[in-house]
Structure 1
Amino acid sequence: MKNRRDTFKAGMGASFLSLMLILGGCGSNAAEVATTPASTTDSNTPAASTTEESAAPAEKLKVETSFYPMYEFARNVGGDLADVELLVPAGTEPHDWEPTPQDIVKIEEADLLVYNGAGMESWVDQVLDASANGDLLAVEASKGIDIMEGSEEEGHDRGHDEAAEEGHDHDHDAAAEEDHDHDHGEAATEEHDHDHEEAGHTHSHDHGGLDPHVWLSPALAIEEVRGIEQAFAEKDPSNAAQYKSNADAYVAKLEALNTEFKDGLSGTKRTDFITQHAAFGYLAREYDLTQVPIAGLSPEQEPSAQEMAEIVEFAKEHDVKTIFFETLVSSKVAEAIASEIGAKTAVLNPLEGLTDEEIAAGEDYLSIMRANLAALQAALNE
């Protein structure tokens, strides 16, 4: 991973030299809101008057988002006032994704870049540090949220009940927060002190020992939406009231979802669940559950034979009947454990991206989270 990141850094520098020569010749900052009148008008709209005020329709905000939950949240906040694009393609696991030169151009031309932070997007600091777009507003959606510590070995240091519970004692000290340095100043635009290449943080996916999966708690998703709303209003203050209205409407849906989770997961027969990787710590903390991950924060990490034996032992001792896997990575480890103990497998979706099939079926954050709730209810009441 280290060598690949070094190669990425070197390539990034070369790409930006070329890109800046191209973009520099455009004569204006790419991130400023354009004032050029639209070339066409809706046939259902009244004919424009000849006054200067009506001759130049307001330009939409151009928003780039890192991966699916950020896209969904930003799209609901922006509504008709923003063109929101998703950088990570459908069906792509985002932990290892890195932007192409074409993606970098998109970011350079954007008004806002919305990303999760907490180490999820290992590429973002390099892109922002090299950016020549002084007007780009970088929005770290997890800013201000109590970020949990995690490790690639989290799934294997369980010691059964006690260790599993301790693994979710998330009242971390201030030092853990300071290491991540969430206080980036004005709208996360000044400093991006997330260089996780220090000794001890060179593991795959480069989360820097932090758990970035905050969006899987509906309560924390609300906080991310509110942060995105504030950034939209800062960039486009004339439409702040509409962004607030849009956010209010979506937050109401998230609040209803949160209530469904609270009601649906209270009083279950069991509180521990085995999942493919350690993506559900925030959800477990919010609803008093215990996540027992097969792997750590890396979804593609495979356990050793000893670690597999520990999971099998835990599952047998606790009469686990369902092993959860996810959609964007191989399910073979989960299936092997389920076969060993005579359990079944089921999907618990970390919502790191939608598949083409999910998009075609009209799935979204709310529908998939409700499917996750139903899956957990079934497994925890077996």
Structure 2
Amino acid sequence: MIVIALCISGCRKTKAGLVEGKVNVVTSFYPLYDFTKKIGGDYVNVINLVPAGVEPHDWSPKSRDIKNMTGAQVFVYQGAGFEGWVKDFLGSLSKQSTVDVVEASKGVNFIYTDEKKEEFDPHAWLSPLNARQMANNIKTALVKADPAHKDVYEQNYQNYASQLTELDGRYTTALAQTSKKEIAVSHHAFAYLCKDYGLTQMSIMGLSPDAEPTSQDLKKINAFIKDHQLKYIFFEELVSDKLAKTLAKDANVNTLVLNPLEGLTEAQLEAGEDYISIMDKNLKNLVMSLQ
């Protein structure tokens, strides 16, 4: 009973979702939440800003999120323009806040989206090797915030980095054996994955999953599907699949899920899914489509 009482008093949860006695980390969206949980373990309380089932491109912070940020020790965001709200959000924090702001994608070799090389594709986490770099940045921040548990964070990171390396190996082996190398997707989110494994994507929408395609865009992807004799169009779960299914019907092909891991559904979280398990499901569907 004494032990239980000490745990309750030492790790008391506040109304805002913060936990006393732990390192409180606020993350901007799901992959960063998952990486932080894996590395932080029992010593870290992770609060993900974007709720389950919500597409982060359309999300903006609420007043309760500012409360969590003000009391947190670490804030982890993707960067590369993915979270357009970050600058204003950080500017609205109380002057008393001492939160350490961490750009998870620091050190990643970005893919440019324009000829002037001024804008980046932010979807770097869809490369397992980039995910490993991002996890390392998170580990460094946790060690800084809580040096007493440095050895735990270092070991957890090494374990997780090994899992990401093995995931990369599974992708490399499986995709090297497929006869096709082209994929048709609803959301132009897979450039890093394609670059790592020698694939080419053609998308219905652009970098934002709710962008409206033009009639010319639809003609292009239809031609792409026919030219490469594709059997599937990939869609994602957090946005409407109506357009992908309509296009698939017109092109006489089927649809499959290719999850950009911008967020998980409640059902996926309850089932214990995470970054690696969803990436493995993505790989299975990619192999099926590329035969």
Q: 1:210 to 1:138 in 2, by over 3 A?
A: same
Q: SS in structure 1 opposite 2:83?
A: coil
Partner residue of 2:74? 112
Task: Report whether the alignment pairs 1:268 with 2:178.
Answer: yes
How far off is 1:302 after superposition? Answer: 2.2
In the aligned structure 2, how far is the partner of 1:42 from the partner of 1:141? 31
In the aligned structure 2, how far is the partner of 1:327 from the partner of 1:286? 24
In the aligned structure 1, how far is the partner of 2:170 from the partner of 2:24? 34
Alignment of 1:150-299 (within 5 A): 150=113, 176=117, 179=118, 209-299=119-209
Task: Report whether the alignment pairs 1:144 with 2:107.
Answer: yes
Moved over 4 A (4+): none
Alignment of 1:229-378 (within 5 A): 229-378=139-288
Question: What value does the CA root-mean-square deviation take over the aligned residues?
Answer: 1.8
Partner residue of 1:50? none
In the aligned structure 2, how far is the partner of 1:123 from the partner of 1:269? 42
Task: Report whether the alignment pairs 1:60 with 2:22.
Answer: yes
Q: SS in structure 2 opposite 1:41?
A: helix
How far off is 1:238 after superposition? Answer: 2.0
Contact 2:131–2:164 (Cα < 8 Å) also in 1: yes
Aligned counterpart for 2:85 among listed residues 87, 108, 123:
123
Aligned counterpart for 2:5 among listed residues 40, 63, 71:
40
In the aligned structure 2, how far is the partner of 1:129 from the partner of 1:147? 26
How many residue pairs get aligned? The number is 277
Q: Which of the pair is proportionally richer in strand?
A: 2
How far off is 1:133 after superposition? Answer: 4.0
Task: Report whether the alignment pairs 1:103 with 2:13.
Answer: no
In the aligned structure 2, how far is the partner of 1:82 from the partner of 1:65? 12
In the aligned structure 2, how far is the partner of 1:124 from the partner of 1:133? 18
How far off is 1:237 after superposition? Answer: 1.6
In the aligned structure 1, how far is the partner of 2:108 from the partner of 2:224? 32
| Letter matched to residue 369 of structure 1 | M
The CA deviation string for residues 225-260 of structure 1, in whole angstroms up to 9 with x for no partner, is 001001111122222111101111111111111110
How far off is 1:70 after superposition? Answer: 0.6
Could you tell me the TM-score, scaled by structure 1's length? 0.70
Q: SS in structure 2 opposite 1:242?
A: helix
Contact 2:36–2:138 (Cα < 8 Å) also in 1: yes
Contact 2:27–2:33 (Cα < 8 Å) also in 1: yes
Moved more, 98-107 or 235-244: 235-244
Could you tell me the TM-score, scaled by structure 2's length? 0.91
Partner residue of 2:14? none
In the aligned structure 1, how far is the partner of 2:225 from the partner of 2:267? 32
Contact 1:327–1:349 (Cα < 8 Å) also in 2: yes
Partner residue of 2:17? none
**Identity percentage over the alignment?**
42
Contact 1:302–1:333 (Cα < 8 Å) also in 2: no
The CA deviation string for residues 259-312 of structure 1, in whole angstroms up to 9 with x for no partner, is 100101003111110111111000000111111111110101121222212211
Contact 1:150–1:297 (Cα < 8 Å) also in 2: no
In the aligned structure 1, how far is the partner of 2:154 from the partner of 2:203? 37
Task: Pick the structure with greater CA Rg.
Answer: 1
The CA deviation string for residues 35-87 of structure 1, in whole angstroms up to 9 with x for no partner, is xxx992259xxxxxxxxxxxxxx921011111100100011111111111111
